[in-house]
Structure 1
Amino acid sequence: MLRALSHHPGARRPAALFALFGGALTLRLTAVRQAYDIHVDECYYVAISQSLADDGEPAFEGGYFALHPPALFALLAGVLRATHGPPDLADAVLALRPVIAVIGALSVTALTALLLRTVRPSVAWATGLLLALDPFLNRFDSRVFLETPTMAAAALGMLVLTRAAGRPGGARGAGCAAGLLFAVSLTTKDWYVLATLLPVVVLAVLSRGAVRRTYLTAAAVAAGGYGGYLAATIATGHWADWRSQRFHGLRRAAGLDRLTGFGSPDNTAVLSGRLHARLGDLGVSYALLALGACATCWLVWQRLNRPRLFTRRPGRTVVTVWAACSLPTPLYAALLGTVEEQMFYPALLVCALALAVTADLLLPARPRRHPGSRTRPRHRRTVCLGAVCALTTAALCADTVVWSRTHGRHDDALRRTISWIDARVGQDETVRATDDTLAVLLPEARPPDWDNGRTHYKSPRLPDTDYVLVTRELVRQGYAFIDPALRTELRRRARLVHTETGPTAGAVEVYDTRRLAGRTVQQVR
């Protein structure tokens, strides 16, 4: 694919694309086991992958899992089988993170290659560096999340379509290839239909002739791929599970059932407060989102009123439609639905592309050299280029500082707490978790009624409990299932025997609660 791109005058540097891939991968792999603490979603996805690897079926806690399609789980299950991955869940999560890092670096490279066919090379390379260094993208690409592989498949599909749209006769084979990539995206996280199938259908409406047939072929193949997944679900007897879980998933996305995310009953954090708290680390990401959203609106207006600007380079239309179809989802979630941070991952990628296309259209073209030409246009071009270069350099420097700070620290309080428990707590002693992450990582630490709602630990006395684990940041955000009265009682009467601190968890505290249960307290080993 990269060799084929070399036929375009703006993309004759395939070696530079490989270098960008290597740089983006290095940025994501550096300290990948300790720079980001374990997230509860990682635990879910890896546990499902382990079930698929062992039993041939995506299941979690003994029940069939159909909330998300199994494409990523199948990939991770294959990696676990090939590498004989560790059975321990925490170790398996950390062992699989490099797989997602590779996919994230591939996504950065694909998007840069797309831009090289769409905008001037300097703008494309600057955007590629911003994507490689962006701290928000790095945080997702360094964890086992669904967003990275979903958007990587979508980006590769859009790259194939952009190349095909530049040919006078289109390419039906390219439509099939793009459709297969979109099918991979849909069978990883199916609500990304708004970032794959919908923009392809809109592009088909805006096109004509062979190019339209290419887009329609891609849409048909993608829909057929997802239909094959549904057929396999029905054939294996799990249609009722899929229908029930997808129904609840749609209610959550619509904001009718706010079980997680900002605005959920248990979450005391608000989106504005979270944004303010992360401004120091994600300021450039926020700027890209805001400016990219404005750029998308401007591009849509230009496409409607000045379509000739988009005819010479079809990638401009692809980026405009892709961004216009992808941005309403996080906007709706923030206003009415269930908003979670991962919803801004695809938005950030398409916003960066839209901003690059806007900059390419607004920047003055290189003036033609001929006798008697005035210098004012050249001076204006120099000023504009200087301003853009200064802003881009400042953003890259800021992201470099954030990356150095993030990857130079230890943010693995949960893993260190688990290691301490394995080494210091006896097998005959009972440990209880007070949040979902630790309850999944330590099945033996689950409360007796862990599957029956968030009503645990409201008694001031803890019979048959030796130690209680408290994650301070989850308590602050309202995600820990511990009564405030018991939290106060732990501070007053229980003995704090160990603490591990980290930027994500705040602090993971281990309390010796035998005194609350009226039993003899012995020194922990």
Structure 2
Amino acid sequence: MLALLALVFRIFGVQRANDVFIDEVTYADFARQIAHGHMPSTSGAPFFLHPPGTYALNGLVIRVLGLEGDPMDLALQLRWVNAFLGVLTVVVCFFLVRRLVGVHSAALAAVVLASDPFVLRMDGRLMMETPAGLAVLSGWLLVLKLLDLERGRTRLWLEISAGLVFGTAIVMKDMTSIFTVVPLLAAVLWRRTVTLQSAGRILACSLIPYVAYLGVVVATGLLPDFVGEKSVGVLRMIGAVQMTGFNSVPGVDFTGRLMDLASRFGTSYALLGLSIVGGAVAALSPLAKRRLMGLFSLFTGFVGVYSVFFGAAEEQFGYCVVLAALVSLPVAAAMLVKWHRRLRPVVLLGAAVMVVLSLVLGIQARSVVDDGLVRARDWMNAEIPGSSRVGLTSVTGEFALLPHEGWDVLPSLRSLRDGGADYVLTQGRQLSEGYGFASPEFLTWLEENAQPVFTFAGPTSGDTVVWKLDRTRLDAAVAGGLVLPPVTGGYE
């Protein structure tokens, strides 16, 4: 029943509830490359920022199902893969929490996970976090199972299996090592929650998938490229280099943005904030398996907090934090009730409110129509003459819509004039907040001097608009010295 609930939430609106995200079309293109026997690359250079586990999985799906199309079409089709993996994550979460605190708490946690609006947005897009998060929780479930066993063949096989599953998570997204390897090492030191020998066997097996990946890198002579790009990735993660996320854009009010999104992701933000609290309480439990999950939630929550204040504050970092919170909070709640019986009504009320609000926000998240970029593309293909020149102004527009005859990235008034553009496509939120190529002032100029011929309003991108340019006004503006250069992207 829980799986069915999770499935309904994920398949409803799978291609229309979330506007296309830049990472999706990039990952879809990587999957297509692997499906054709090539290493992932972008702009002609090997891509090593993330390991290829999720791309290989989706590449296999492309090969088996014979999927075709441009990167955006592939991304929309591959969203179904994450939808079904998200269902499995809900099931694994149920079994994991049931092993910790019982079936009733497990059912409540699974309902929240099935309907959580933030998790639904990740599961409803082609993101690495969904398969990686499933592998993380599955590995921990195997670890909890082996903690109940004495030394023997069955425990050894579970250790090997847990290590390989953790390794699968790491080869899907190497940042998950903080959610797997680090808590396991800490568990050896914290009240001998896990024995050194058992942790050693698990960690040794977790290295196997990544070592195999490195072997391919070395065999192809790409180790220097790997080291160079991974070095940049580490600097980005710790915040020494700000290239993506809220912290990379000056002038964006992160707190204000969170307040604006609270009506859509309020319960998700509560889980993100409580991950450390739940983990700290669970880590004090006299039961080893509860302490272990407390450490998992504690370290995962620390990563989320660090990324917000110092690192690359990308929303996808919160996915595993929500998963960890839904594992540790039921444990913390059970411990609080045991310590203070009077808190039982408060805890039950809090759980009921969380479940109801999550269901309401989940229904809201899946019923919204938010596919502005797809609609804009279809409208331009149908309504704009084939000889027209179209200027694109955002990173997502570039990766999702190109190559296309007559369309090009033209994110300044001068480039629009020099490129002979007749139309220009903008996504309001990205440009106004500094996430696109074009400047916010560029959007203001269009509002005053161009004619909107297609408009779609959605919660992700704001107003997605196709503007018909007045060439007389454009030429006069540039001749008068009004260039409005791009804010990023290296374009003139």
Q: TM-score, normalised by structure 2?
A: 0.90
Aligned runs of 1:85-104 on 2, under 5 Å?
Answer: 85-104=67-86
Q: Tell me the distance in 2 between the aligned counterparts of 1:154 and 1:489.
A: 48
| Residue of structure 2 equivalent to 1:193 | 177
Q: Which deviates further from its counterpart, 214-223 or 460-469?
A: 460-469
Q: Tell me the distance in 1 between the aligned counterparts of 2:303 and 2:146.
A: 28
Q: Is the 8 A contact 2:193 2:289 kept in 1?
A: no
Q: Tell me the distance in 2 between the aligned counterparts of 1:138 and 1:78.
A: 24
| 1:252-278, Cα deviation, whole Å (9 max, x unpaired) | 11212111111214x542321121011
- Look up the equivalent residue of 1:261 and give its one-letter code: G
| Residue of structure 2 equivalent to 1:276 | 259
Asked if 1:140 corresponds to 2:122, the answer is yes
1:493: how far off? Answer: 2.4
Asked if 1:285 corresponds to 2:268, the answer is yes
| 1:489-516, Cα deviation, whole Å (9 max, x unpaired) | 3222222211122111111111112524
| Residue of structure 2 equivalent to 1:468 | 424
| Residue of structure 1 equivalent to 2:484 | none
Q: Is the 8 A contact 2:392 2:407 kept in 1?
A: no
- Look up the equivalent residue of 2:253 and give its one-letter code: V
| Residue of structure 2 equivalent to 1:430 | 389
Q: Is the 8 A contact 2:275 2:325 kept in 1?
A: yes
1:509 to 450, 465, 469: 465
| Residue of structure 1 equivalent to 2:226 | 242
| Residue of structure 2 equivalent to 1:295 | 278
Q: Is the 8 A contact 1:150 1:186 kept in 2?
A: yes
Q: Which deviates further from its counterpart, 55-64 or 441-450?
A: 441-450
Asked if 1:223 corresponds to 2:182, the answer is no
1:62: how far off? Answer: 2.5
| Residue of structure 2 equivalent to 1:414 | 373
Stretches of structure 1 lacking an aligned partner (at least 5 in a row) = 1-18, 304-308, 366-379, 520-525
Q: Is the 8 A contact 2:30 2:40 kept in 1?
A: yes
- Look up the equivalent residue of 1:406 and give its one-letter code: A
| 1:445-488, Cα deviation, whole Å (9 max, x unpaired) | 699996xxxx9415386231111101111112111222445433
Aligned residues: 472
Residue aligned with 1:278, SS: helix
1:159 to 128, 141, 146: 141
Q: Tell me the distance in 2 between the aligned counterparts of 1:210 and 1:257.
A: 36
Q: Tell me the distance in 1 between the aligned counterparts of 2:333 and 2:47.
A: 44
Identity of aligned residues (%): 28
- Look up the equivalent residue of 2:391 and give its one-letter code: R
Q: Assess, with a 3 A threshold, how the Cα gap between structure 1 residues 125 and 210 changes in structure 2: closer, same or farther.
A: closer
Q: Is the 8 A contact 1:457 1:486 kept in 2?
A: yes
- Look up the equivalent residue of 1:138 and give its one-letter code: L
Residue aligned with 2:417, SS: coil
- Look up the equivalent residue of 1:217 and give its one-letter code: R
Q: Assess, with a 3 A threshold, how the Cα gap between structure 1 residues 461 and 77 changes in structure 2: closer, same or farther.
A: closer
| 1:205-240, Cα deviation, whole Å (9 max, x unpaired) | 458799543322110011232122112111112112
Q: Is the 8 A contact 2:132 2:170 kept in 1?
A: yes
Q: TM-score, normalised by structure 1?
A: 0.84
Residue aligned with 2:463, SS: strand
Aligned runs of 1:77-88 on 2, under 5 Å?
Answer: 77-88=59-70
Q: Assess, with a 3 A threshold, how the Cα gap between structure 1 residues 42 and 471 changes in structure 2: closer, same or farther.
A: same
| Residue of structure 2 equivalent to 1:172 | 156
Residue aligned with 1:233, SS: helix
Aligned runs of 1:377-456 on 2, under 5 Å?
Answer: 381=341, 384-444=343-403, 456=411
| 1:88-116, Cα deviation, whole Å (9 max, x unpaired) | 22221111111011111211211221111
Q: Tell me the distance in 2 between the aligned counterparts of 1:221 and 1:68.
A: 20
Q: Tell me the distance in 2 between the aligned counterparts of 1:349 and 1:475.
A: 32
Residue aligned with 1:504, SS: coil
- Look up the equivalent residue of 1:281 and give its one-letter code: R
Q: Tell me the distance in 1 between the aligned counterparts of 2:168 and 2:456.
A: 39
Q: Is the 8 A contact 1:200 1:216 kept in 2?
A: no
Q: Tell me the distance in 1 between the aligned counterparts of 2:434 and 2:227.
A: 30
Asked if 1:109 corresponds to 2:87, the answer is no
1:324 to 289, 298, 302: 298
| Residue of structure 1 equivalent to 2:17 | 35
| Residue of structure 1 equivalent to 2:481 | none
Asked if 1:459 corresponds to 2:414, the answer is yes
Q: Which deviates further from its counterpart, 67-76 or 197-206?
A: 197-206
Q: Tell me the distance in 2 between the aligned counterparts of 1:323 and 1:109.
A: 19
Q: Is the 8 A contact 1:439 1:446 kept in 2?
A: no
| Residue of structure 2 equivalent to 1:492 | 448
| Residue of structure 1 equivalent to 2:245 | 261
1:315: how far off? Answer: 2.0
Asked if 1:355 corresponds to 2:329, the answer is yes
Residue aligned with 1:201, SS: helix
Q: Is the 8 A contact 1:154 1:181 kept in 2?
A: yes
1:384: how far off? Answer: 4.0
1:78: how far off? Answer: 0.7
Q: Is the 8 A contact 1:172 1:213 kept in 2?
A: no
| Residue of structure 1 equivalent to 2:479 | none
Asked if 1:337 corresponds to 2:311, the answer is yes
Residue aligned with 1:95, SS: helix
Residue aligned with 2:457, SS: strand
1:169: how far off? Answer: 2.3
Q: Tell me the distance in 1 between the aligned counterparts of 2:469 and 2:19.
A: 26
Residue aligned with 1:410, SS: coil
Q: Which deviates further from its counterpart, 495-504 or 286-295?
A: 286-295
| Residue of structure 1 equivalent to 2:46 | 64
Q: Assess, with a 3 A threshold, how the Cα gap between structure 1 residues 362 and 41 changes in structure 2: closer, same or farther.
A: same
- Look up the equivalent residue of 2:150 and give its one-letter code: P
Q: Assess, with a 3 A threshold, how the Cα gap between structure 1 residues 518 and 337 changes in structure 2: closer, same or farther.
A: closer
Q: Tell me the distance in 2 between the aligned counterparts of 1:195 and 1:447.
A: 46
Asked if 1:150 corresponds to 2:109, the answer is no
- Look up the equivalent residue of 1:412 and give its one-letter code: D
Q: Assess, with a 3 A threshold, how the Cα gap between structure 1 residues 461 and 355 changes in structure 2: closer, same or farther.
A: closer
- Look up the equivalent residue of 2:435 and give its one-letter code: Y
Q: CA RMSD in A?
A: 2.4
Structure of higher CA gyration radius: 1
| 1:351-396, Cα deviation, whole Å (9 max, x unpaired) | 221111111112249xxxxxxxxxxxxxx85x64433332222222
1:414: how far off? Answer: 0.8
Q: Tell me the distance in 2 between the aligned counterparts of 1:345 and 1:256.
A: 23
Residue aligned with 2:166, SS: helix
Q: Assess, with a 3 A threshold, how the Cα gap between structure 1 residues 124 and 484 changes in structure 2: closer, same or farther.
A: closer
Residue aligned with 2:228, SS: helix
